Chains A and B, each alone.
Chain A
Amino acid sequence: MKVTLKIWRQPDAASQGAMHTYELDGVSEDMSFLEMLDVLNEDLVARGEDPVAFDSDCREGICGMCGLMINGQAHGPEVTTTCQLHMRSFKDGDEIVIEPWRADAFPVVKDLVVDRGAFDRIIQAGGYISVNTGSAPEAHSVPVPRDDAVRAFNVATCIGCGACVAACPNGSASLFMGAKVTHLGELPQGQPERDSRVVGMVAQHDAEGFGGCTNIGECTAACPKEIPLDVISRLNWDLHAALRHGH
């Protein structure tokens, strides 16, 4: 099939970007979306044009490296990652608009590549359990109710892709933060640092320039791991608790 691609091109962070249009023929529906872009890039290289830069690594939906805004939807029209989206979700003659994640906290590096370092710093600000290597007690000394473990797992599947931020009208990273706060907060091991964790993470989130959440819910709809809105409620709850505890 044949598609018309409108792609954001921007040489580097400092330059102005613009949308460019490319026609691509011979696209097979078995191609993944990124393979389709690979083919475009081979074409561009053959023509002597700079290939389109975009991020991907595992290409199996788990590393969180890929992420494009496709026709106004983060990761495109299916609930999955960009790398797991396939061309059979499109049809012959479609026009596909491809943009990078837009958030001032995720500056564009080049074309469709953005810098998500802010997420690492949010984790640095408290998204962990402090336990030095070798000082852990025997694993079975602290039983964890199965439901808690399952719930912790469900939200721990966040891949840090940033689609939640990209989709949120406020550019908020609350779903990402909430997922981590809930993951660690569900487990007995995570209790001692519960207050300082949420306070540190939220402060970093705010300093990075993400917006505040107004519970709009676009984030969860775009999330390839279907992290539910519960986690934002939980995030808020934990922050109030920290306030009460004088943090």
Chain B
Amino acid sequence: MATTTLVTGARASRSTITLKLLMAASGLVFILYVLAHMYGNLKAFAGHDAYNEYAHHLRTLGEPMLPYEGFLWIMRAVLIVALVVHVYAAVRLGHRAIHARSQRYVVKKNLASSFSSRWMRWGGVAILLFVIWHLINFTIGKVNVAGGETNDPYNLLVDTFDTWWMTVIYLLAMFALALHLHHGTWSAAQTLGLTNNARARRNAKALGWILAVVIAGGFSLVPIFVLAGVISK
């Protein structure tokens, strides 16, 4: 694909780095969201009423300035935009990467790259699939795999994770999320140009670990404790 001519009228906004910038920005939105969501989920430990109260509170947040579910819709809009941007950029970059090396090596070793960094694209797809199911499960479809009621958020949650294979799916998804966050956090810092020296680089990598463990770990608590019977109806 090598060209032999010089580009004229170069624009910064057309570059791969701009795509990466979009990816980092949308990724950061996701990070903030999952952090908050994870924290919210932990309300499950406070019991049926507290959790449902919280779910209700989310919908009335900002009233009367915002209509009912107003905050939620703003948040959803932001998330949807971020998702479109994130996936668009991921597809564009993935496509470029495939065409940047159409003839593969017979032998190729990886020396410095983390497992997580090499799984970003598949991990992203896994997370996307998970989110689709997750929304069907809890938000859009409200599917209760145990066959119970669906309009009580707390009970839906407990029923779901009382089903062992649902817990397994969720835990696998959390593993994918952990990987994505581990590399994604450092990667976003690098993409934003914040890691201009060895120390900043170490910090960004440490932050990646912390977020991966805290977020994926935090999320995992609820399913595990439901399955273990600590959280129950």
Contact = CB atoms under 8 A, between A and B. Distances in A.
A212 B196 contact: no
Contacts of A239: 12, 15, 17-18, 21
Interface in B1-53: 1-4, 6-7, 10-21
Given A104-B100, A209-B2, A210-B100, A72 B19 contact: no
B187 A215 contact: yes
Contacts of A207: 3, 7
A217 B2 contact: no
B12 A247 contact: yes
Contacts of A216: 112-113, 117-118
- Most A C-beta atoms less than 10 A away, residue of B7, B20, B96, B97: B7
Say which size band chain B's interface belongs to.
Answer: 35 or more
A25 interface: no
A233 interface: yes
A34 interface: no
Nearest to B190: A215
A86 interface: no
A209 to B, nearest CB: 3
Nearest to B117: A216
Contact of B11 (A125, A217, A237, A247): A247
Contacts of B3: 118, 121, 207-209
Given A202-B17, A218-B111, A211 B93 contact: yes
A113 to B, nearest CB: 14
Given A124-B6, A212-B20, A237-B196, A104 B111 contact: no
A204 interface: yes
Given A104-B102, A117-B2, A236 B17 contact: yes
A237 B113 contact: no
A57 interface: no
A63 interface: no
B123 to A, nearest CB: 12
A219 B10 CA distance: 26
A89 interface: no
A169 interface: yes
Given A214-B187, A240-B193, A243-B18, A169 B97 contact: yes
Contacts of A232: 190
Interface in B205-228: none
15 contacts: A103-B101, A125-B10, A170-B93, A171-B97, A171-B101, A203-B14, A207-B7, A210-B100, A211-B101, A221-B111, A233-B196, A236-B17, A239-B21, A240-B17, A243-B13
Given A169-B110, A217-B113, A229-B201, 7 more contacts: A72-B107, A72-B109, A99-B107, A102-B104, A199-B10, A230-B195, A236-B193
Interface of A: 6, 8, 19, 69, 71-73, 97, 99, 102-107, 115, 117-118, 121, 124-125, 167, 169-172, 198-200, 202-218, 220-222, 228-230, 232-240, 242-243, 247
Instruction: Give me the 7 closest cross-chain CB pairs, A-B, nearest first.
Output: A237-B193, A209-B1, A171-B100, A203-B10, A221-B112, A211-B100, A212-B16
